[in-house]
Structure 1
């Protein structure tokens, strides 16, 4: 490739590396979607920002999106957060599939089932997500498009090879894929191997239980005709010996297989898309193999599994989109002590979580106005088999809770709905006004309903509290408002939004008054256990993205995010919400080089949840620097430094340490990585 052509490719790549996170259209102009695209340098397309070749957790990319963040319980356990909502309140579509975690504490959160080399793009619906974006979108929606086999590419063979190394934790990544195709058929093979040791913080402390070992591989097969195509995919994920210091246990293993069939047909004026998926995941975790535990009587090993069948059928024509979508998941969890063969707790036994839905979405446009109006009706059903506890015969409180749960009517069926209107008005040539209103509902998770004995199996809350569930929980209902303005005048673009939502029957832990629960929790060191309860809550805030091109070589860009979450029943804040933060990038590009200097600043967070014993955190600012050299159209080499100034700090969403044997005490906030130097290369052919 000639230098001028490389320069043209770099210019396009630069638009994303400098946090080009402005709206793109998926369905129509009324829905804003922020998309980060994967690198395809040979096709002069855009590339993922900030060290995409060295990140072990795809969830980290959410930090480049206004309003988005991640709850970190370990290096590869990122739980998506958007505008103060996290976990199952946010819909995650991974290659079109609804991925369900096998672990009751979200050690295998949905975004951990993917790896950077297989990602085509990551999209976040900004503001209020349309009803078509997922089954439960009360907290927003994230769409991850995965690579698929390419057909009739003009070349019989193509592929991608990525290597990286981080010095702070001796971490390495090897990832590769290869695509073989002819005129009608394509097949894609991929393999990823990621591993790292415990990292050091800015003061040189070793943060134990932060190692990871993650392997993924699979195959995608595509065949197409004149007006149809069909595909089949298999993904295998294997994780071993990976730490989660903010949780009571670490990952011993996660073993998952996902299968997917999908197709597309053009039927005169109608277009039909369908998908059928199945996932079988098993997960083992313990509190002794990767952290210090001197009391063998308290050794715990939790074996869990989840099997999920999911489906989706979409029919589109003109302004209309109609759909059927749902999943049927089953969960099990058994806790044992390898030093005491008599100890066994059946924590979750054949839990059923079935969600089926039908939706319609209309997207008319009229001159300067464009709208999306959608309604989704959801049928939710859950059930659980009887449970048991080996200590029930010796502990009357445990026996009473066991008997009460087993004699209860555990089958719950209800109907929920989502109704959303997204609109945009092109006020002037440079200015667009957007506004949205919605009512969104969510049925409780299986942990919130069926956690029958005090445990920390809470979907990754990581507050150190023990909880019990509540079979009779009501559905959450959110009344949402969103408004924004976008100004685009050549070299300068800015797009602020404000939002407000009142959540009725928000599911939150409240102090248990059940003496049986309190006595059992007290034996485990928690004098104030919580029970999942319906309360009312309010969330509001603002976020913004912007960019300014200084000249042909330099561009400034950034985001600002702020959210407040408050309980309406008592004077307290909602738990684990990111403080006011900003990210500012200065990008430079010249010939085959580009450089990205980034400042990430967070204010202090004192608006914490007293009830959840949440610790406040100090403000901080860190600097990252990255340099890329494009050797050719398909080869880039990269060097960078995270936390350039070796700042000692605590990410507020990073959680509290619960791992004995670390250089930081149990109960202290987990300190973040110190200065990390990394090298990487990506070769695409």
Structure 2
């Protein structure tokens, strides 16, 4: 029989699980990474079936995902989502090409190449990213491993899910020789439209994409220098909660990096380049019988980023930034005269510097950090062929082109994290912060009513405001960690008071109203500064029996309210909890998950958001590790074929489906899953 240790090593390189780790400072982190048997206790399992790693966030207390399509998951944490959450992959800030976040940052990661996904619990430290007002997620990619002698290892992966005939094939390989290493990976994913529990086909939920990458590294003494390349090729893939679907996404990113162990200090640096092209349309994957209403959008994005951090003693000092450019043009393939310059030569640059200090005094640990950010934004002139026929559009176009679109803002973050250990089994955690974030380019430069809103998916048309003020969040959090015997728990309560929160208000411009009405929206919105409050609690817990059985779970609740009017914030996850009962002996494991969501009746009236009922679904997963290096996986999602609708899943925007346009999108019906993974 294969030993528990040998199987743990294999599973460590093939599975995914959420872990709590002891951080370097007093800021808490939760890590979604490869399974490791015998190192720590399970907190919650990651989703092994989803094509989008954003779904892994559902197993983290306080986190969730706004789902606009099968490969378009937008991270949510404690009620905030999108650009408010810092998301880095391989140490780099990922800038997508699509103005509606069809290529959301986490879609640029694929499980086979991921070493770990770190979610900073609660208030993120200043070292976690440039804009962390809503939290931070860091995906660490696999890097090349070196060896004293010639070494080759790798894996082959094949997964299949029955509901939508989803197939996933992947592999990676690492070569190491003395001080040099090379790592290569590839992944191919595809699926047909899925069916709900009633057997209804959900049109434009199919997807197809390929991801490839390589990393080369050279170690010399206490130093490492490396070069990495990653490519994403997404083909026809549905985004059924949005007005268009993905026609293609082509992305290449390169980065040069290094790390140096100096005398009592450490230096890390990275420079990156990313080029994206993205096409989308409303007719090739969904029913659109009116050729005059066919629309095709071509979007391009490019970015340059840099990161440098120096650590010495209790101090971390660094500079980082990202310089991004965006363009998006809308055409009609049946009418060559139709064109709308949605975004033209948009510049969105963010430069920053930070310092962080950590110190321990007996049972007390403190971490204090500060970050200053210089934000630059600008845009070129725009054009619409509709201006010749619609005076309202012509007026908006002329006003935008005459306006001073250049913006220069200075923002800052200040954070404090503390831990007070009363005993070996109990410690208090408390933190506070003041954080700012400048507006996104969509919020500033959306000049004519459109739904290119960074993935809001509310079906409303918006216009921007060049002169939006930065958001300022005053954040407080407190909780404790308790561990005694096989039981541990980690609850947190939080309160965020946010001034100048960027939300929607009805547009008061009659030209906007007139242009929107011509497009079918009787009540267009404008991005505006308001005041808002977010508060709630989240917790995770676990109990490890003396045997190989365990119980684990988490619970999350957040309330989001506008302070200027009596309304709720848009797209807030309802109260939810996850309960896991499992067995793991290092050779084989099995677990049942119960996912329980309450109804969400506190919806946004301004966004005309629909309420959703509560539900509970059960899932089962198992795997067995053979001593030949083969891991067999199997499972059933939604065991009892329960009909349900996720509040964060949005509503259907695609004609030609068994689901009516405007109806809440149903969840996946019963889904059988099998997988085989081989490690050599």
Q: With structure 1 as the length reference, what TM-score do the two structures score?
A: 0.97
Counterparts of 1:650 and 1:560, CA distance in 2: 19
Structure 1 residues 250 and 591, CA, compared in 2 at 3 Å: closer, same or farther? closer
The one of 24, 32, 48 aligned to 1:36: 32
Q: How does 1:120-519 map to 2 (within 5 A)?
A: 120-152=115-147, 156-519=151-514
Counterparts of 1:324 and 1:335, CA distance in 2: 37
Structure 1 residues 491 and 44, CA, compared in 2 at 3 Å: closer, same or farther? closer
Instruction: Give the superposition deviation at 1:10.
Output: 9.4
Q: Identify the residue that residue 538 of structure 2 maps to in structure 1.
A: 543
Instruction: Give the superposition deviation at 1:632.
Output: 2.1
1:621 match: secondary structure: strand
Counterparts of 1:591 and 1:235, CA distance in 2: 33
2:189 match: secondary structure: strand
Counterparts of 1:681 and 1:630, CA distance in 2: 10
Matched pairs, number: 680
Counterparts of 2:199 and 2:109, CA distance in 1: 31
Q: Identify the residue that residue 667 of structure 2 maps to in structure 1.
A: 672
Q: Identify the residue that residue 613 of structure 1 maps to in structure 2.
A: 608
Whether contact under 8 Å (1:587, 1:595) holds in the other structure is: yes
1:139 match: secondary structure: coil
1:472 match: secondary structure: coil
Q: Identify the residue that residue 660 of structure 1 maps to in structure 2.
A: 655
Which string of whole-angstrom CA distances, capped at 9 and with x for unpartnered residues, describes residues 198-239 of structure 1? 000011100001000010111110000011110000101000
Is 1:85 equivalent to 2:80 in the alignment? yes
Structure 1 residues 23 and 215, CA, compared in 2 at 3 Å: closer, same or farther? same
Instruction: Give the superposition deviation at 1:684.
Output: 1.7
Structure 1 residues 40 and 365, CA, compared in 2 at 3 Å: closer, same or farther? closer
Structure 1 residues 5 and 317, CA, compared in 2 at 3 Å: closer, same or farther? closer
Whether contact under 8 Å (2:592, 2:621) holds in the other structure is: yes
Instruction: Give the superposition deviation at 1:663.
Output: 0.4
Which string of whole-angstrom CA distances, capped at 9 and with x for unpartnered residues, describes residues 537-582 of structure 1? 0000000000012331210000000000000011000000100000
1:199 match: secondary structure: coil
Whether contact under 8 Å (1:368, 1:425) holds in the other structure is: yes
Structure 1 residues 666 and 415, CA, compared in 2 at 3 Å: closer, same or farther? same
Could you say what the CA RMSD is over the residues aligned between the two structures, in angstroms? 1.9
Which string of whole-angstrom CA distances, capped at 9 and with x for unpartnered residues, describes residues 369-427 of structure 1? 11110000000000000000011111111110000000000000010000000010001
Structure 1 residues 49 and 148, CA, compared in 2 at 3 Å: closer, same or farther? farther
1:342 match: secondary structure: strand
> Which blocks of at least 5 consecutive residues in structure 2 are unaligned?
none
Is 1:2 equivalent to 2:15 in the alignment? no
Whether contact under 8 Å (1:59, 1:80) holds in the other structure is: yes
Counterparts of 1:217 and 1:52, CA distance in 2: 22
2:648 match: secondary structure: helix
Structure 1 residues 155 and 551, CA, compared in 2 at 3 Å: closer, same or farther? farther
> Which blocks of at least 5 consecutive residues in structure 1 are unaligned?
none
Q: Identify the residue that residue 560 of structure 1 maps to in structure 2.
A: 555
Whether contact under 8 Å (1:54, 1:173) holds in the other structure is: no
1:388 match: secondary structure: coil
Structure 1 residues 138 and 591, CA, compared in 2 at 3 Å: closer, same or farther? closer
Counterparts of 1:9 and 1:664, CA distance in 2: 45
2:355 match: secondary structure: strand
Counterparts of 1:652 and 1:600, CA distance in 2: 14
2:622 match: secondary structure: strand
Which string of whole-angstrom CA distances, capped at 9 and with x for unpartnered residues, describes residues 335-385 of structure 1? 000000000001100100010000000011111011110000000000000
Whether contact under 8 Å (1:10, 1:589) holds in the other structure is: no
Counterparts of 2:245 and 2:371, CA distance in 1: 38
Q: Identify the residue that residue 22 of structure 1 maps to in structure 2.
A: 20
Structure 1 residues 4 and 152, CA, compared in 2 at 3 Å: closer, same or farther? closer
Q: Identify the residue that residue 572 of structure 1 maps to in structure 2.
A: 567
The one of 61, 85, 91 aligned to 1:96: 91
Counterparts of 1:153 and 1:246, CA distance in 2: 52
1:78 match: secondary structure: strand
Instruction: Give the superposition deviation at 1:12.
Output: 8.5
1:92 match: secondary structure: strand
Instruction: Give the superposition deviation at 1:39.
Output: 4.7
Structure 1 outlier segments of 4+, above 6 Å? 7-14, 43-49
The one of 65, 68, 73 aligned to 2:60: 65
Structure 1 residues 501 and 40, CA, compared in 2 at 3 Å: closer, same or farther? closer
Which string of whole-angstrom CA distances, capped at 9 and with x for unpartnered residues, describes residues 270-304 of structure 1? 21100000100000000000000011111000000
The one of 669, 678, 682 aligned to 2:677: 682
Whether contact under 8 Å (2:487, 2:543) holds in the other structure is: yes
Counterparts of 1:632 and 1:68, CA distance in 2: 36
